[in-house]
Structure 1
Amino acid sequence: MKIKSLFKIPATGQEVTVRGWVRTFRANRFIALNDGSTLGNIQCVVDFESMDEELLKKISTGAAIKVTGNYVESQGKGQAAEIQVTELYVYGEADPESYPIQPKKHSLEFLREKAHLRVRTATFSAVMRVRSALAFGVHKFFREEGFQYVNTPIVTGSDAEGAGEMFRVSSLDTKNPPLKEDGSVDFSQDFFGKETHLTVSGQLEAETYAMGLGEVYTFGPTFRAENSNTTRHLAEFWMIEPEMAFFDLDDNMDLAEKFIKSVLTYILKECEEDLIFLDNRLTQEDKTKPQAERSELSLLEKIKFVVENDFKRVSYTEAIEILKNSKPNKKKKFKFHIDEWGADLQSEHERFLVEKHFKCPVILYDYPATIKAFYMRMNEDQKTVRAMDILFPGIGEIVGGSQREERLDILKERIKAMGIDEEELWWYLDLRRFGSAPHSGFGLGFERLVLFATGMSNIRDVIPFPRTPQNAAF
């Protein structure tokens, strides 16, 4: 049986069988066994006099074994119950000299180099169980809200963000590609007959399905070829993107807030043991930092703070005034100084608003059109668009969304102004030609949500195999 299930039953001497990986083997007698189902290890006590000596030599940290024995109350300290081993089988040994995940504290940098084995540590097994529960919570929320789950293409011919930071998908010979008369690559001879890329967002395609199914969501991998090596950026990550027909910006903000609170409430219930462990880990890590850099709230307090408090809604214009007049801006402590309306807010500005000024999650809305995507609905002032971003403590932006531009003539003007090829988006424009309706949606970077929920400080530590500039190992 799974160790998690074993811990839920009384230890009355019944025979049980468990399988897993050895965390430690002490005094040739005490095996700490973990199978990934829970944070805790089950202690398995071996009577070495009755066991084959050669068999015991095969047991070391990292070995995969099966243990059968009597599940009894523990005689020693540190655990309530243990297994008195009667049978032991070794599936696979782990050379104690070369097995890298030893029972000691390893740096996160070291464990990134061992990403194929790091899930066997307490920290990463806890993070990945929370990640798994969050993913289930996402589907559970949308199912209960009546949304349909749609799978949008990973290979695309359109750039939803208009930023141009995309990975090309091609089957052409890189050394000798077919060329046009002007010397440019002839993509008409490529596999798809045109230039294609890995998607940066499933939003545009999801909009088409919202215009027939009402409320839909995507949850899949997205890719950005942004040469950014920060603790908040990945080249491959997962996005949650709902699109809703007949929703305006206020409806959109209401849904996003309800959604975030729902999934965080779900993990508070489902992942209590792992969250307490990660909370303690963060508290210990905080003690090594200077006083000014320490968190005011523990991990569990932060999660509960988001769940229990209304998000503050503030216009971009109001936020700019707050930032312009703030002490860090006046004393030039911001890396990016805020001089005037129209500035693109950076993470330091977003975190100031959340952590220092309002001291709660913030939803900013009505951004300048010049710094937002072409598909966002233009306001009557002709300067701002119906965009909204949700800002979180420690993270900055966690959600970006908008009411979409449903008016064909205005959307065509925006596409032209941004230098986007209208022909590439003929199908998207058709949505405005045939039964156009107000609609809205948002995108949430799943790894940023996991980052917040686990208290980890680097986004590379909340995805199994991070993809970053100069790194595609494993």
Structure 2
Amino acid sequence: MMKRNVAEILKSDAFLQEVHLKGWVRTFRSNRFIAINDGSTINNIQCVIDFENTSEEILKRITTGAAISIKGILAESQGKGQSVEIQVSEIEILGDCNPDEYPIQPKKHSFEFLRENAHLRVRTNTFGAIMRVRSKLSFAVHKYFQENGFNYVNTPIITGSDAEGAGEMFRVTNFEDNKAPVTEDGKIDFSKDFFGKETNLTVSGQLEAETFAMALGKAYTFGPTFRAENSNTTRHLAEFWMIEPEVAFMDLDGNMDLSEDFIKSVLSYALEHCKDDLAFLDQRLTQEEKSKPQAERSDMSLLEKLKFVIDNNFKRVSYTEAIDILRNSKPNKKKKFQYPINEWGVDLQSEHERFLVEKHFKCPVILFDYPADIKAFYMRLNDDGKTVRAMDVLFPGIGEIVGGSQREERYDVLLEKIKAMGIDEKEVWWYLDLRKFGTAVHSGFGLGFERLVQFTTGMGNIRDVIPFPRTPQNAEF
């Protein structure tokens, strides 16, 4: 007897063989047709029972959500939409599901409702598809780096440094509530805390990854990061996963090459290995777009966006050139931008980034050489003294998806920047040491994994591409 999952059985043509299958009931109609899914594919398999020879007790227990075991003969399907079905000879209820209490009934649910039931939402077609795509993308990330000579590094989750300098970090302490010791000037005395200093949850593993790149040549991190930004937008999470490669002896041009090749590789892998799920998500997004006003609809389907990125060379444009393009654009002149572009030095918003990608260049864009004042301290200062060797990769529908830079390898320049930004050099002494002992040009980038999953699946809210979203006032599950 073949014991297979649904994905395998649906591809089989071993008719008249006995099969054994376990899964969950999606639908049960006419007291005869059971649609079963076991999570291996977005597609259900139809199982046909002989209701006349099935006890009334069993029939009552075949409800949506119930876990069941099926044995039967694989047969060519008589219905539409599938090639095979199972003629059931034996059925066992493994786990009952009360239809009066089960919230995931076979009907359309709002994403807000499903977030409130995040422990069950992956049983729906949409979230099953998203999480399978997420899994495949995760594998593709490791596959790419492992096949290209990178070393996987587990950087600390608890850290004493703020890589981004934004200060929006979650504090880690062992002090009891309202019993933290204080210094003479009334400040919390962290020297008496567990780690003997103020510590936080990390916002990035980049600084630590650089230490490995400067010894192993190529390193990458792929782990959880945290940001205490009190934001409830569709683009922000308090807990998210970051992909951060660092490479020694690589300049900004090499960094741009790496980011483009990496992105195209992982998206190509998803297209090849998630065909059914992406076809479903493409259809879902197409239907969603129809409900939007004409002016807000995307010009491309989900699959077209993915192929748009894979098939096009990324256009490389300096920040200064981009500002000139945006300043002279029709949306800016007609005051259509929510954030008008009037002068050099402003931080670009998603609307500006999408205009460059979708309207002006009509291809993915890499912007480089940003103003130093709007970028982090570790980015290499250019000879003009006002820009740094930073780069951002911009995508259709989403704007920035990758941020990176050539790192400042000169000790004196980095020390000066650290002092200018008010960073205590004692907290980053080890980072400065990298510039004292065998310094060299090196570069890297950061890619928020949820942003990548969001782009690949076409979901509008980043909370819907992570299993259990952590956001302000929400740490359920």
TM-score, reference length from structure 1: 0.99
Question: What whole-Å deviation, never above 9, does each CA across 1:29-84 have from its counterpart, x for those lacking one?
Answer: 11100000001101111112212221221110001111111110122333221111
Preserved CA contact (<8 Å) 1:11 1:73: no
Residue 327 of structure 2: which of 316, 324, 338 is its match? 324
1:191-210 → structure 2 map (5 Å cutoff): 191-210=194-213
**Cα displacement (A) at 1:203:** 0.1
Give the SS at the match of 1:433: coil
- SS of the equivalent of 2:298 reads coil
2:458 is the counterpart of 1:455? yes
> Hey, what does 1:385 align to over in structure 2?
388
Specify which of 80, 102, 116 is matched with residue 119 of structure 2.
116
Superposed, 1:127-138 pairs within 5 Å as 127-138=130-141
Code of the aligned partner of 2:52: E
* SS at 2:15 equivalent: coil
Instruction: For 1:158-197, list aligned pairs within 5 A.
Output: 158-197=161-200
User: Are 2:264 and 1:258 equivalent residues in the alignment?
Assistant: no
SS of 1:409's equivalent in the other structure is helix
Rounded to whole Å, the distance in 2 between the matches of 1:470 and 1:299 is: 32
Aligned to 1:363: 366
Q: Note if 1:279 corresponds to 2:282.
A: yes
1:270-309 to structure 2, matched below 5 A, reads: 270-309=273-312
Q: Give 1:126's aligned residue.
A: 129
Please list every run of 5 or more consecutive structure 1 residues that lacks an aligned counterpart in the other structure: none
Matched, 1:235 2:238: yes
What is the CA distance between 1:11 and its match in structure 2?
A: 4.4
Percentage identity across aligned positions? 74
Select the residue among 186, 210, 215 that pairs with 2:218.
215
Distance 2:146 2:32 in 1: 49
The 2-side partners of 1:91 and 1:181 are apart by 65
1:87 is the counterpart of 2:106: no
Q: Give the aligned partner of residue 247 of structure 1.
A: 250
2:367 partner SS: strand
- For residue 224 of structure 1, the aligned residue among 213, 222, 227 is 227
Q: Which moved further from structure 2: 383-392 or 49-58?
A: 49-58
* Aligned partners of 1:323 and 1:338 also within 8 Å: yes
- Mark the CA change 1:461 to 1:110 in structure 2 (over 3 Å): closer, same or farther: same
Counterpart residue number, 1:102: 105
2:340 to 334, 337, 341: 337
Per-residue deviation, 1:125: 0.5
Q: Tell me how far apart the structure 1 counterparts of residues 78 and 211 of structure 2 sit (CA, whole Å).
A: 64
Give 1:183 deviation, angstroms: 1.1
* Distance in 2 separating the partners of 1:101 and 1:354: 39
Q: Is the 8 A contact 1:21 1:64 kept in 2?
A: yes
| C-alpha distance in structure 1 between counterparts of 2:40 and 2:424, whole Å | 51
2:436 pairs, out of 433, 436, 459, with: 433
Quick check: 2-11 or 456-465, which moved more?
2-11
- Cα-Cα RMSD: 0.9
Checking the alignment, whether the CA contact within 8 Å between 2:332 and 2:340 is kept in structure 1 is yes
The number of aligned residues is 474
Q: Counterpart of 2:54?
A: 51
Distance 1:203 1:77 in 2: 52
Question: What code does the residue aligned with 1:124 have?
Answer: F
- 8 Å CA contact 2:10–2:83 kept in 1: the answer is no
Give the distance between the partners of 2:444 and 2:460, measured in 1 at CA: 28
In structure 1, C-alpha distance between the alignment counterparts of 2:342 and 2:423, rounded to whole Å: 30
Q: SS in structure 2 opposite 1:466?
A: coil
Q: Is the 8 A contact 1:239 1:446 kept in 2?
A: yes
Q: Does 1:146 align with 2:187?
A: no
Note the alpha carbon deviations across 1:329-364, whole angstroms, 9 max, x for none: 222222222111110111111111111111111000
Secondary structure at the aligned position of 1:173 is classed as coil
User: Bigger shift: 398-407 or 226-235?
Assistant: 226-235
* TM superposition shift of 1:174: 2.2
> Structure 1: how far apart are the matches of 2:404 and 2:265?
18
The answer for the alignment partner of 1:471 in structure 2 is: 474
Say whether the 8 Å CA contact 1:20–1:35 is kept in structure 2. Answer: yes
Residue 396 of structure 1, aligned match among 390, 395, 399: 399
Cα distance between partner residues in 2 of 1:37 and 1:401: 36
Instruction: For 2:252 and 2:139, locate their aligned partners in 1 and report how far apart those are by CA, in whole Å.
Output: 26
Does the 8 Å contact 1:316/1:367 carry over to 2? yes
In 2: Cα distance, 1:207 partner to 1:69 partner: 57
- Matched to 1:233, the amino acid is H
Name the residue aligned to 1:268: 271
- Specify the code of the residue in structure 1 equivalent to 2:162: D
Contact 1:154 1:221 in 2 (8 A): yes
Greater mean alpha carbon deviation, residues 44-53 or residues 421-430: 44-53
**What TM-score do the two structures reach when normalised by structure 2?**
0.98
Maintained 8 Å contact 1:11/1:81:
no
Segments of structure 2 that go 5 or more residues without pairing to the other structure are: none
Residue 51 of structure 2 is aligned to residue 40 of structure 1: no
SS of equivalent residue, structure 1 residue 24: strand
Letter matched to residue 34 of structure 1: N
Amino acid of the residue matched to residue 315 of structure 1?
S
Question: Which deviates more, 288-297 or 309-318?
Answer: 288-297
Amino acid corresponding to residue 205 of structure 2 in structure 1: G
Give the letter for the 2:74 counterpart. Y
1:295 partner amino acid = S
Equivalent residue number for residue 426 of structure 2 = 423
Find the counterpart in structure 1 of residue 412 from structure 2: 409
